[in-house]
Amino acid sequence: MKKSLLLLLIIIIASCAAPKKCCGQTDSLELYKKGYQIAKTLNVEYKQKIDLQFTTINEQDSLILDLRNLLSTKDLIIKYDSEQIDILNQQQVFLKDNLSIYQKEFNKRDKFWNKPWFGAVLGAVGTITIIHVIDYSLPQ
């Protein structure tokens, strides 16, 4: 009986000393490994997300620079266009002034006594008149 009690006591001690996996208890090493694997995958995902955000930020920065270049180009074009419009307006004023000067000159030259046909008629009439005056003024 002593042997059976001793055997029973050894079995009870051995069963208490052995890790139990029943009744909802888990091994802490397995739980640590599981948490480590989850943390490792989360870190990889976070690194990927951070890299994606950095590339997105870099793309946005390049787009912002492109937009700023476009805006500065637009401003330059507007400036040059306004200068060209001013120059064209000045040319229009000068052309109107020249046109009025030429119109005044044309109106001065457009008189009938400034026409070539009037000079020819006046010359012929004048010559005939001088011939008649000289012919009547000379003694016969």
Integer CA distances (angstroms), 38 to 32, 45, 82, in order? 10, 11, 65
Each of the 140 residues of the chain gets a pLDDT tens digit; together they read: 777 777 777 888 877 765 555 444 557 888 899 999 999 999 999 999 999 999 999 999 999 999 999 999 999 999 999 999 999 999 999 999 999 999 988 877 767 777 788 888 889 999 999 988 887 777 76
Radius of gyration of the chain (CA): 58
Domain ranges of the chain: 27-86
Q: What is the pTM of this model?
A: 0.42
